[in-house]
A and B are shown apart, each in its own frame.
Chain A
Amino acid sequence: DQQVKQNSPSLSVQEGRISILNCDYTNSMFDYFLWYKKYPAEGPTFLISISSIKDKNEDGRFTVFLNKSAKHLSLHIVPSQPGDSAVYFCAARIRFRGSTLGRLYFGRGTQLTVWP
């Protein structure tokens, strides 16, 4: 049961343009969302996160938007650079009975390719 879905397995964008990676979720108990970037044979690297009480979080070229009513979040990268080429994972976490459980639920990932 995939509670976090990334429906686009790949995305190709020209350098300097905007990259938009999308993620949908089904569990309304998710309260914290994270994006990770992953290169082959390496562990995921934390990129940016957003709490469910916010609808936008920005960090340099990276912005994450959260639409709770639609159960949708997106990661915007502006401007895109060739070094951004990697697999991007969306992840979500549940807050249960006032405590945060450590488990992350991951999407299947989107391969972003930024070409010159």
Chain B
Amino acid sequence: KAGVTQTPRYLIKTRGQQVTLSCSPISGHRSVSWYQQTPGQGLQFLFEYFSETQRNKGNFPGRFSGRQFSNSRSEMNVSTLELGDSALYLCASSYDQGASTDTQYFGPGTRLTVL
């Protein structure tokens, strides 16, 4: 089974631009979560999608948004980029059958650099 894939792997943008990152979950997985990793803050939860609905949201400004499609693929968008948005953005998927032992599997991440 193919793992979680994220595109692009690397991205360079300038302040004020917007960016869209893509995530394809493991086949059959219905939940997709997004995390931001920075050296200072570690892994911070952005949001989670399940059946095309945002089910959970972290403490990020409204410039960060996402969506999920009917095939469970997900995109996240960051508008009006700031220097502090430079980070590794990670996507994770899980089957989410409601069991407490459901496990999230991560993609390789997208490294975003804002100049």
Q: Do A and B bind each other?
A: yes
Residue of B nearest to A2 (CB): B42
Number of interface residues of A (CB under 8 A): 27
Q: What class of interface size applies to chain B in its complex with A?
A: 20 to 34
- Given contacts A44-B90, A103-B48, A49 and B100 within 8 Å (CB-CB): no
Instruction: Check: B58 CB closer than 8 A to any chain A CB.
Output: yes
Tell me whether B43 and A101 are in contact (CB under 8 A). no
Check if A45 is an interface residue, CB within 8 A of chain B.
yes
B72 within 8 A of A: no
| B107 and A43 contact, CB distance less than 8 A | yes
Quote the shortest CB–CB distance from B95 to chain A (angstroms).
Answer: 11
- Residue on B with the closest CB to A48? B103
In the complex, A45 Cα to B114 Cα: how many Å? 26
In the bound complex, how far is the Cα of B102 from the Cα of A34, in angstroms? 10
Q: Quick check: is B22 within 8 A (CB to CB) of the other chain? A: no
Q: Are B100 and A95 in contact (CB under 8 A)?
A: yes
Interface residues of A (CB under 8 A from B): 31-32, 34, 36, 41-46, 49, 51, 89, 91, 93, 95, 99-109
CB pairs A–B below 8 angstroms (19 shown)? A32-B100, A34-B103, A41-B108, A42-B109, A43-B106, A43-B108, A44-B90, A46-B105, A49-B103, A89-B43, A91-B43, A93-B100, A99-B98, A100-B102, A102-B56, A103-B33, A103-B56, A105-B45, A107-B42
Q: 7 tightest CB-CB pairs across the interface, nearest first?
A: A43-B106, A102-B48, A106-B43, A108-B42, A44-B106, A43-B108, A103-B45
